[in-house]
Each structure stands twice: as structure tokens, then as C-alpha cells.
Chain A
Amino acid sequence: MAAFQGRSCECTYSLIHYSPGLDVDAIFLQIINGLDKGAAYALIALGLTLVFGTLGVVNFAHGALFMLGAFTTVSTQALLTMSMKIRDTSITFFEAYKEVPYLQVWWGDTGKAIIDYAVPISLLLVIPVMLLIGLLMERGLIRHFYKRIPADQILMTFGLAIVLQEIIKANFGANPIPVPAPEIVAGSAQIGSWLGMSDAIVYPWWRLIYFLFSLLVIGAVFAFLQLTTFGMVVRAGMHNREMVGLLGINIERKFTIVFGLGAVVAGLAGAMYTPILPPDYNMGMNFLVLSFVVVVVGGMGSLGGAVIAGFLLGILQSFASMNQVNSIIPGIDQIIIYLVAILIILVRPRGLMGREGVMED
């Protein structure tokens, strides 16, 4: 103890005995991490830019939709783990109970396996629930603000996000709730060994699954808009709403469905994210700012732009967090995406793939 009486705090901060070089393994790991982050950013921003591109609504409740998707998974898990209470005799100071899930009591290992797959099972629930929430939101609130100025839309949707957050907090508490991935994909993939590189290169299975899932959903949304008649009408409506209306098409109804679709995409992104980040009521707000940066960098209302910006910012953030980079410019990891956003907007004011006339009147 006495040895430390005279030591200063400052000296300990710089004591780094081992500093690995910027080797291929480290770069490879950060590329994978960047792609993984980028896919998540792109998926989360996709619904936001979709709604903006079609309805022209700046939806600050988008983060709340992401959070509601995650809590639909939490609810599914709670439903599957509904338990019978057995008196816990190990606690003597008040009447405490142990909880054993009914599924486990009734079906033993099969019940246990069903509980283990709570996240994938929840996706079946997330799609209809989020579609319903999206439709109700659009019909009940958003449509009344189509002709209002963006500031009104922002205030209304932001207020709605706070209300939704508080409802979730009142029901689920403020602490993060653990939602594990299925046991079979709980560990890490030995990517290094597969590619003949260092054994140190591993990556969590669930993050790889999330990456593939993001690509799948992004691809499905693109296919829906590019290859279906519905998508063609929506794209025409995005380009010229009045003209499509004059052709006798009820574009408003189609846009309502698009809002629902945006909510489903946000909800799926949130549901699949639960094993990565234990959900809490505030998780949506954390992603909201990021989603807007992605949308602005990609170009307001551009789906392709959101995807490219998502990957670009994900990779940049990952590399900026490397110790070697941070030792040259301390704190760069925390500002890199905003710095790049400023640079891109200075060079291309409409973002990477922004259309002329969007948010310019």
C-alpha cells in the first residue's frame, strides 16, 4: 500500500508496454467491423429515408420505431418464458419466488429450445406488429402534418418518440434487458483460420448473421420498389405526386403502406439488434442522430445513398477507433462521422446521391 502513496495519476495514463503495429490482421478485423457497422447503419437509415423520400416527412420518431421492434422481441421472450412461481426458500426476509417457464415444465428440452430461439421467432411477430404501428401512426398523426412546415413535423414526431419511450419505460423499466442469441450462434466464427490468417481473427456469429440479414432486407426493399407494380407507382409518386394522382391512382394510400413498410424495416433492425445491444427504452434516441447523419450524407430521400453512406461511415468509424489512429489524433473516433458529413455536404450539398429539389423549397 505504501508504495502507492506518492504515485501520480498522470503517469499511469501513458504506460503502454505493448503496441502492436498496423498489421494486416488488425486492418482486416476493422474492415469486417466497419462492414458490420455499416450494414446496421444502412438498415436503420433505410426506413427513415424511405419515409422521407415518399411522404416528405422528417420522422424523428424513427428511432422509437427501432426501439419498439426491439421491445417486440423482448415481449416475445417474456411471452415464451412465462413462468410458474415456486417459493424460493433460500430468501428468508420476504416471500420470494423462483420462476420456471411453463414451456420448460410442459415440454422439457423442446420447451427450452423454443425459448432459446426467441429472437428468430419474434420476427414473425415484429412484422405484423410494426406494420400495424406504422399504419396507425401515419393515419392517426403523420397525415395531419403533411402540409405543415418541417419544424412542426419534427416537433410532433419528436414528442411522439418521447411518449413511446416513456410508455416502454413504465412497462419494462430503465435497465437494459438481456436478450441472448440462440445458443448455436452465441460464440464467434473463426474467420482467421478459414482464410489462413491469424487465429486471433474471430467475429461473433450473430453479428455476421445481422450483416447478411441487413443485406437481405435492403435487397428486398430495393426489389420491392424496382420490380413490382406497387413499387413503380410509389417511385412515380416520389417523382411527381400530383401527376400520379391525376392518373387516378390513390397515391396517399400507397404512401401509407410505404410508411408501414418503413416501420417494419426499422422494427426488424431493432429486433435483430437485441442480442448485440441489450435493449432499453432510450436505445432509439442513440440511433436517431446517427440515422439522420447517414440519410443526409447519402442524400435526403435516396435509398442507394443511405446504403453507401451507411457503409462509408461504418468503415470510417471503425478505423478511427484503432489505437494507432487515436494516438495520432486523440478523440477522432468520436467525431469522424460528423467531420466526414460536414466535408461531404460542403463538396456535395445534396449529399452523395441526393436529388435536386428535395428539402430545397
Chain B
Amino acid sequence: MSKIITSKWSRRDILKAGAASGIVAGMPMFYMKNAFAANYLNDPGSAAAVTFGFNVPQTGAYADEGADELRAYKLAVKHLNGEGDGGMIHTLKPMSLKGNGVLGKKVKYVTGDTQTKSDAARASAKRMIEKDGVTMVTGGSSSGVAIATQSLCQEAGVIFMAGLTHSNDTTGKDKRRNGFRHFFNAYMSAAALAPVLKKNYGTDRKAYHLTADYTWGWTQEASMVAFTEAIGWKTVATVKTPVGAGDFSQFITPILNSGADTLILNHYGKDMINSLTQAVQFGLRDKQVNGKDFVIIVPLYSRLMAQGAGDNIKGIFGSTNWHWSLPDAGTKAFVKSFGAEYGLPPSQAAQTCYVQTLLYADASERAGTFMPSEVIKQLEGFKFDGAGNGPTEYRAADHQCFKDVLVVKGKEKPSSQFDLLEIVEVTPRAKVEYKPDNKFFAGGKLGPANNGV
């Protein structure tokens, strides 16, 4: 027998109550900061501080570069927390940060040692994410390491702001939605260098490549071959050398009677210092081949490398992401701040790491949350200026920053121990830009954002 259930609630009452509950539940989403609480990994919630993870090589071949990156990160944290002179916070436009931390929280940091090894870098980043509760990992100095860490951050659900990584693959076939690169890449280096090489060395050259045998070297070599051949140069040979070979003499002797009149060293860091030093010792720079002076080119330069190579870099062309001698307001503010703090000018690695930290903090401030998917929305397509590279855009399609590229030359007569590179040309962004589907960057997809929950 059925029983008729009666209630004092009418259908209209229930609908009203449901609508009211919905509005109350939804209110924080519109009016409160941290409204995304508990919806993403390592949400700092109501904590007074937020933690960033600085994952740099503190030991190994790039330890000096890592030390400079760490200096820059620490300076960025100071500026974010309203200490010091504020550096680029005053020059970056647009800028939401006020020098009171991020979203009212003080910025803290933890550091890790990548040892320039992918497995060590991943272990260190994992510890930062799982134990230290970082919302963002940043660092670099090797593309292999950066790609491995970027992939880990994507899987874990935090943001990765790449430091020094120059391989096309970082924002090419290995790009990830949670990863962003401010530094330029191998393709841009080649695109900027080719016209300068044509102007200085002509169109009839035979180039021999020595290339570091890993992702960065491969993409650097491929880019340089394509762009130099487009100006009429011929490629004699492309030889891969093991990373950290030390003695490159067995790779240099075959160049002597190869018919090549140009050596392109697709090496970085210690490898570049050693191979260049040894190439000079083998008299390559004094040689005449095919009726021309033999020349050496180093596509990716850094001031720290230039110091290691000594006089051997004089007159050698290369490219760089940034240089402390640039005259713009952002560079001046950063160099002044860094110089006052540490007594030396920052390297290009330091600049990119400093800028990446500020960009992440600013994006979080604008998003009103540290939730990766919201921060990503703020960074994708973000246009800014005042960071030392002129007007810059974080392209949404691949998370690569597009900006001017510097072509430099080893200075013949340095005026100080820091004044080793001379800016030959500032190549405008339009000359180094490429379409997102360019085949040098093909094969990867950003995929969806991951909030880690």
C-alpha cells in the first residue's frame, strides 16, 4: 500500500533555496583571493609564504653558471619581497607586483643541485615539489636537464620556468603546457648570425661542424647548416663529439686537410672553452685555405665562457640572449642592482633566470592564484617590455619568448675583465621569428595544463 509523503517545503521553496546556496557557494570565486584553494598541487592556502624551487647546477661542468643563476634568483626574491632597490620591478611593463611578495604572501625559496645531469635534476625537482611544496620550479644551463625537468613538472602539475636552455626542442618537440622559456633558441641564433656572417665572410665558404652530441648540439648544428647553406656556404662535414671530451685534438686534426675554411663550434661551456683553445693551438686561425683566412664561429656565447677561453675568443662571432652593456632602462636597473649586491655584472644566464622569476610572480599576481592553469592563461600571449630585450612576447602556441637577438664578437681590446664581448648587431625579433609549425620545432604538442590534482 502506498503512503503519501507530505512536506512543509514546496517545490518553489526548494528551487529558491538551491539558487541561494549556489550564489553563496560561488561568491568566493568572484570576491576572494585564493578562491581556487585546494584545487591544485601545493596550494599555499592561507599560509603567509609561498615557496619557489631554484634547481641549478651547483656542482659539475656548469657550476659557475649555476652560481650566477642562483645569485639572480636570490636577488629576484629580495625584490619581490620589497627589499633592495627593486631592480626590474620598476622597469617591467605591465607590472602588477607591488614589492609586498606575491598575492600578499612572502616569497621563500629552496635550492637544488642538478649536477648538469637529467636524473639528478629530476630527483631534485621531485623533492622540491613533494617535500618543499613549491608552486614553481625554475633553473637550467643544459637543455637535456631543462627538458627532463620540464617534463617532470608537467606530470607533477607545477609550473616550470626554464633558465638557460637553447635547444630548439625545449619549445619544439618537447614543449609542455606547464613549461615556459624566456631564453632564445638555436634557430634564432642561426637566423641572427647568418646575415652577419655573409656580410663579413661572403657567400663562398666551406664549413666544418664540431657538435656536442646531445639535443642542444644537434639542433644548433641543424639550424646553422640550414642558414649558412642558404647564404651559399657548403657543409664539408658535421662531426659529433662526446660531451666533456676534454681533449678534442683527434677531432681537430681531420679539419686540417679537409678543405674547410670555416669551423663552426656547436659547443657550449667547458667543451667550447677546450675545443676553441685547442683549435687555436692547431693554428686554425692562422691558416689560409681556398685563398681565404680560416675563421671560427661559436654560435652560442656567454661571458663566463669567454673568460675561460681567454684571448682565443678575440674576433670570433657568436650570439647571445642578453649582455650587461645594453643601454636600456631594464638592463641598467638590473645590472646596477646585481653589481651592488655581488660586485660583478650578471651573465645572460642570470638575466633570464631573474626575468623568469619576476614574470611568474607577476602572472600569479594577475591571476589571483598560483593555480598552474590560471597562471598559464596569464603568461600565454603576454606582451611585456623593460626586461632588457626590448618588446617581448610569450607566444601562446609554443611558450617561447620572441624578442631581439644579439650578435656579438670577442672584443679585440677589452677595457675590463668583464668587457669581453662586443655587440655587433641587435637583430630585430621579426628577423628571427618563425611559424609555430616550422619543422625545426615539429613533433610536439603543449597538451593540457596540469594542476596536479
Interface residues of A (CB under 8 A from B): 1, 3-9, 12-13, 15-20, 23, 25-26, 29-30, 32-33, 36-37, 40, 88, 90-91, 93-96, 98-99, 169, 173-178, 180-181, 186-188, 198, 200-204, 206-207, 275-278, 280, 282-283, 286-287, 317-318, 321-323, 326, 333-334
Contacts and interface: CB of A to CB of B under 8 A. Distances in A.
A4 B206 CA distance: 20
Nearest to A166: B59
Interface in B424-440: 431, 433-435, 437-440
B238 A5 contact: no
A355 to B, nearest CB: 31
A177 B305 CA distance: 10
B234 interface: yes
Q: Which 3 A-B residue pairings sit nearest by Cβ, starting from the closest?
A: A174-B63, A178-B310, A188-B283
Interface in B406-421: 415-419
Contacts of A4: 226-227, 230, 434, 438, 440
A18 B259 contact: yes
Given A188-B281, A200-B257, A90 B249 contact: no
A99 B431 CA distance: 41
A155 to B, nearest CB: 20
B18 interface: no
Contacts of B277: 178, 277-278
Contacts of A18: 206, 234, 236-237, 258-260
B431 A17 contact: no
Contacts of A317: 250
Nearest to A286: B246
B226 A12 contact: yes
Among the interface residues B309, B344, B439, B442, which one has the most CB atoms of the partner chain A within 10 A? B439
B311 interface: yes
A91 B278 CA distance: 32
A176 B247 contact: no
Contacts of A32: 253
Interface of A is mostly: loop
A79 B99 CA distance: 46
A317 B253 CA distance: 13
Contacts of B64: 173-175
Contact of B310 (A94, A180, A198): A180
A198 B258 CA distance: 12
30 contacts: A4-B230, A6-B438, A12-B238, A15-B229, A15-B238, A29-B256, A33-B250, A90-B416, A91-B345, A91-B419, A93-B335, A93-B345, A99-B417, A169-B59, A174-B59, A174-B67, A175-B307, A175-B308, A176-B308, A178-B311, A186-B281, A188-B282, A200-B256, A202-B287, A203-B282, A204-B282, A278-B309, A282-B60, A286-B246, A326-B239
Best-buried of B222, B344, B433 by chain A (most CB within 10 Å): B222
A333 to B, nearest CB: 7
B439 A6 contact: yes
B343 A94 contact: yes
A317 B245 CA distance: 12
B28 interface: no
Interface of B: 59-64, 67, 168, 191, 206, 218-219, 221-222, 225-227, 229-230, 234-239, 242, 244, 246-247, 249-251, 253-254, 256-260, 270, 273-274, 277-278, 281-283, 286-287, 304, 307-312, 332, 335-336, 339-340, 343-345, 415-419, 431, 433-435, 437-440, 442
A5 B439 contact: yes
Given A4-B440, A6-B439, A12 B225 contact: yes
A5 B343 contact: no
A180 B339 CA distance: 30
A37 B250 contact: yes
Which of B62, B238, B332, B442 has the largest number of chain A CB atoms within 10 A?
B238
Given A17-B235, A175-B64, A283 B308 contact: no
B339 A94 contact: yes
Nearest to B289: A200
B237 A94 contact: no
A343 to B, nearest CB: 21
A188 B256 CA distance: 12
Contact of B256 (A201, A282, A283, A287): A201
A259 B173 CA distance: 54
Nearest to B334: A93
A8 B439 contact: yes
Nearest to A175: B64
A198 B257 contact: yes
A204 B283 contact: yes
Nearest to B233: A17
A37 B225 CA distance: 31
A26 B254 contact: yes
Given A5-B437, A91-B345, A282-B60, 8 more contacts: A8-B440, A8-B442, A18-B206, A93-B340, A188-B283, A204-B283, A317-B250, A323-B239
A278 B222 contact: no
A201 B253 CA distance: 9
A175 B168 CA distance: 26
A93 B283 contact: no
Contact of B247 (A23, A94, A277): A277
Contacts of A36: 249
Contacts of A200: 256-257
B250 A12 contact: no
Contacts of B437: 5
B221 A29 contact: no
A12 B222 contact: yes
Contacts of B273: 176, 178, 278
A176 B418 contact: no
A63 to B, nearest CB: 12
A134 B309 CA distance: 31
Given A175-B304, A176-B270, A15 B256 contact: no
Nearest to B218: A9
Contacts of A178: 273, 277, 308-312
